[in-house]
Each structure stands twice: as C-alpha cells, then as structure tokens.
Amino acid sequence: MVTHVAAEARGDERGALLAFIEEQRGGIRRALLGLTEEQAASRPSASELSLSGLLKHVAEVEQGWIARAKQEPPAIQRDQANWHETFQLVDGETVESQLAYWEKVAAETEAYIRSVPSLDDTFPLPNQPWFPPEGRVSVRWVCLHLIRETARHAGHADIIRESLDGATAFELVAKEQGTSWG
C-alpha cells in the first residue's frame, strides 16, 4: 500500500494528484476488508460488477495508462474477446494477488509521475474510439483520469459492499484503523 504519498501531498501538484489517486484506491481496498473470496466475487445487485472484479479492473487500467504514458504497451492487451476478464478473477487469481499487483502498479505510477520532467508532457494514444479524439494527452490528464476512473469504481465498491453486509465506508475506515464507528 502506497501510504507515504499522503504525507507528501501538500507540497506540490504531483504529490496532490498522487494523494487523490491513493485516496480513491483506499476506498476500493477497504471495501474488500474481511471478505472471503466468494463474497468478493459475488454480485449482489443487477449489475455484473463484483468487488474482486473492480479491483482487477482498476489495477489493469492504471497499469495500462502509465504504460501508454511511457509509450509502452499495457501488460495485458484487451479486446472484445477478453474484455469481460478485466472484471473477473480467472486462472487462480485471488483478491490477495490482485492487491499485491495493484500495490506494485501504484508504486510504478508514483515513480513515473515523480520522474517526468513536466506534467504538461504529452504522449500519443492509439487511434481507438474510446480514447480522447485529440490523439494526445498530458501526464496531468492521466493523473486526473486515474482519479476519476478510480473514484467512479470506489463508489461502485461502496454500494456493492453495503449490499453484501451493510458495512458503510465510515465503518470500513474505522475497521481499517482498528477503531469503531459510531
């Protein structure tokens, strides 16, 4: 877990952006606290989303964006044939393994964001309909996109977790800190 980011967040824009990304990661990680693999994989609503699937998705998305920023291919190539696998654990994947992978991705994200000469630096995107039409985005844009993407799914995770056992975000923060809520 990349916890040192928050302490450094107040001083500069990079630190602030990284702290916001980490804050949203925490919402998803907390939603998984104390759950079994079966609970994490369950889909308690009409949605196809599960907590373990959200975890895998946000880790893959983050890794993919940082790879693109470095002008490298994403670690996992997705297309119509395997897109569904980004939202479900397969081939022996576990919540624990996905959390460890995401921790590695988060460290790589932080190292990259802190190393680029400028947040204004841009990079090309593949010509795909789901990417911005300009064909280029800045490193700052990527940070903001990761905040948006992770926050969106952290909200999904809140709803899924509360549907599973009634635990709310405040209760999960207290649980993570070893205190009680209320």
How does pLDDT run along the chain (182 residues), one tens digit per residue?
444 444 455 579 999 999 999 999 999 999 999 999 999 999 998 889 999 999 999 999 999 999 999 999 999 988 888 888 999 999 999 999 999 999 999 999 999 999 999 999 999 998 888 888 888 999 999 999 999 999 999 999 999 999 999 988 888 988 889 888 76
Spatial separation of the C-alpha atoms in residues 134 and 132, rounded to whole Å: 6
Q: Say if domain 4-177 classifies as CATH 1.20.120.450.
A: yes
pTM confidence score: 0.90
* Whether 109 contacts 150, CB under 8 Å: no
Q: Is the dihedral of CA 22, 28, 34, 40 positive or negative?
A: negative
Q: Is the dihedral of CA 17, 21, 26, 27 positive or negative?
A: positive
Side chain identity, residue 47: S
Q: What is the CA radius of gyration of the chain?
A: 17
